Structure 1
Amino acid sequence: MTYQVPRMSLAESDAWLGLMRVCELLPAALDAQLQANAQITHFEFLVLTSLQLAPEKTLRMTEVAHTTNATLPRLSHVATRLSARGYVERTPCPADKRATNLRLTSAGRSALMRAVPRHIAQARELVIDALSPEQLEQLAAITAAIDARLTTELGPRLGLMANPADTAPANDR
């Protein structure tokens, strides 16, 4: 059986290809900047940031996975790397010993604080300053709509966490 897919209009194709180009170029640019200036990847930056913003600089692994849109296996691998560098500590969750918490260390906070100014400058240079205030509002609305669709429809199939409470604590390892 052949499945027929309607062709995209020129406007749809331009929007789609533009989005795909940005989705490829932006992460590479952010990674390159963070690697050069702070010796961390963009994903490591996201993990450290989520911990910095958490109460007591500590979150369950499932909460970090949810915040960073990561699978638990990917997060576990990165947490091992960050732990080896002294940036995070893994500890049993006091509320549920089957779960694991990640805590930001002072070395991790220092690494993050060194990375933030140049990271913000890069984000401004590449995205924020390229758009008008109206375009920024539109971008926020567009990305929210796409995020909602991806999280709802694809999140469970990709192993992404829609809600940390939806995953059994035993998966926190």
Structure 2
Amino acid sequence: MFERFTKQARAVVISARIHARALHSERIEPVHLFLGALENADEPLSSALAEAGFTLHNALEDVRSRDAQALRSIGIDLREVIDTVETAVGFGAVDRPDDSHLPFARSAKEVLKLSLKEAVEQRDREISVEHVLLGLVRGADPWFTELVQRHCTLGELRSTVLLVRTP
């Protein structure tokens, strides 16, 4: 299936892996695919997403604040943990890349399958960034849905992507 991905859609998957690693995730989740899509969207999609409230910077802020809130809810201050680790083992130790393989979560695999389904239904030969976004909306992963709903509904996001595709 990966051979049907455009260059930009392949970059989405690569960026998702990088974002997952940077966010210290154990696997690539749909939200990481979303970050990758935001990072690799060309014009006019990039501008349409920004108008809807989705930029890579804003989405990363939303993801980080969600993670920090979850930790605070169980009494853990993420900044304090990072400072403690960096004091003990050196500055930047928390951010070191790990060369081990990051697997795709089942929900992320499903998004990629749904991306293919979107391309087939639209009679497109290749899977583009737009198809990945439509697969994300169709997959409706709870964390991704929460992130989107800070700015609009899943239906509105889908409409934004489809409007960009219309010549």
Whether the TM-score (by the shorter chain) exceeds 0.5 is no
Rg (Cα) greater in structure: 1
- Relative to its length, the structure with more strand (as a share) is 1
Greater RCO, CA 8 A, separation 6+: 2
